[in-house]
């Protein structure tokens, strides 16, 4: 939290981060606030391992772009 996206938006909570990941990485995750677990997010891992690894790669790339 407190990081800035390449477009200049400040990530202030888990919902902001989830929106950023969807926009920047094309990865859908669920904000922890939906489960009373802010500032975390949830990932469904009921998928093929190859797809999960690609999603994790995209998340890592998007997070590295934050300043």
Q: What would the pLDDT profile of 7-23 be if each residue is shown by its tens digit?
A: 999 999 999 999 999 99
CA 30, 36, 38, 40 dihedral sign is negative
Burial class (CB in 10 A: 0-12, 13-18, 19+), 67: exposed
Residues 21-43 have a mean pLDDT of 96
pLDDT-derived band at 64 (thresholds 50, 70, 90) equals: very high
Distance CA(44)–CA(30), nearest Å, equals: 9
Where do the structural domains in the chain lie, given as residue ranges?
14-64
pLDDT-derived band at 65 (thresholds 50, 70, 90) equals: very high
pLDDT at 60: 98
φ and ψ of 8, to 5 deg: 100, 0
Identify the CA nearest to 17 among candidates 36, 1, 33: 1
Q: What would the pLDDT profile of 36-52 be if each residue is shown by its tens digit?
A: 999 999 999 899 999 99
């Amino acid at each position: 939290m407190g990081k800035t996206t390449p477009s200049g938006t400040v990530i202030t909570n888990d919902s902001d981060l989830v929106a950023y990941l969807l926009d920047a990485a094309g990865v859908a995750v669920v904000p922890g606030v939906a489960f009373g677990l802010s500032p975390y997010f949830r990932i469904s891992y009921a998928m093929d391992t190859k797809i999960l690894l690609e999603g994790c790669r995209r998340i890592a790339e998007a997070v590295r772009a934050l300043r």
